[in-house]
Amino acid sequence: MTRTAEVRVQARRRYRRARDYLAAAMIHLKDNVLLDRPLRRKLLKPRPLGHWGTCPCLPLVYSGLNRLVAGTGWRTLLVAGPGHGAPAIHANLWLEGTHARFDPALSLDAAGLAELVRRSSWPGGFPSHLSPEVPGVIHGGELGYALATAFGAAFDDPGLLVACVVGDGEANTGPTAAAWHSPKFAGPRDGRVQPRI
């Protein structure tokens, strides 16, 4: 591996560790996000909303798409179905500086980091699911409509690249079962969808 390639791989590993740590911290920590004090029970959120399981997957897709957008400028939409994946998306929004651009309290420093972590799963903080008040998010909250939304966006705009992640819980919903039939409605000028399971 060349030196440049090695540096890139290392950078991607560091980014992955940072965003995964941030998502876990958002779910569980009230404070002490830099872990510069001993971790005590009173620093943990008593009733975390959601779970860690879905968090490593979503950023993998998110940062892969980011790379594509940065390299090609391709118009892209990510439809994030997993209901408990909000911390993972927030972690990316914070690391890339989008949060700070729209809300100075979420600055790219220790104070902004503490605020990001405090707001997750906390009264008056972020909603537990992604919602339109989060920068870049246009819809969210109710489980079942990710696949239908993705098909609709792709049919409507053949030049738009749409990636859609559906969780196992959402896959059990009626709207998702119906959405698998969407290609039957595609006309000759509509965008195409290539599902991958």
Ligand X SMILES: Cc1ncc(C[n+]2csc(CCOP(=O)(O)OP(=O)(O)O)c2C)c(N)n1
Of 24 and 100, which has the nearer Cβ to ligand X?
24
As measured in angstroms, the least distance from the Cβ of 95 to ligand X is 20
- 148 by Cβ neighbours in 10 Å (0-12 / 13-18 / 19+) ranks as middle
Q: Are 125 and 106 in contact (CB under 8 A)?
A: no
Of 43 and 143, which has the nearer Cβ to ligand X?
143
As measured in angstroms, the least distance from the Cβ of 174 to ligand X is 10
Name the residues that contact ligand X, by CB under 6 A. 53-54, 81-85, 142-144, 167-170
Question: What is the number of alpha carbons within 13 Å of residue 72 lying toward its C-beta?
Answer: 11
Of 48 and 82, which has the nearer Cβ to ligand X?
82
Of 107 and 128, which has the nearer Cβ to ligand X?
128
Question: What is the number of alpha carbons within 13 Å of residue 87 lying toward its C-beta?
Answer: 30
Of 19 and 84, which has the nearer Cβ to ligand X?
84
Question: What is the number of alpha carbons within 13 Å of residue 9 lying toward its C-beta?
Answer: 6
As measured in angstroms, the least distance from the Cβ of 130 to ligand X is 11
As measured in angstroms, the least distance from the Cβ of 124 to ligand X is 20
- DSSP H helices, 29-138, are 57-72, 86-95, 98-102, 110-119
As measured in angstroms, the least distance from the Cβ of 181 to ligand X is 19
Q: Rounded to 5 degrees, what are φ and ψ at 40?
A: -110, 155
Helix axes 86-95, 110-119, angle to 10 degrees: 160
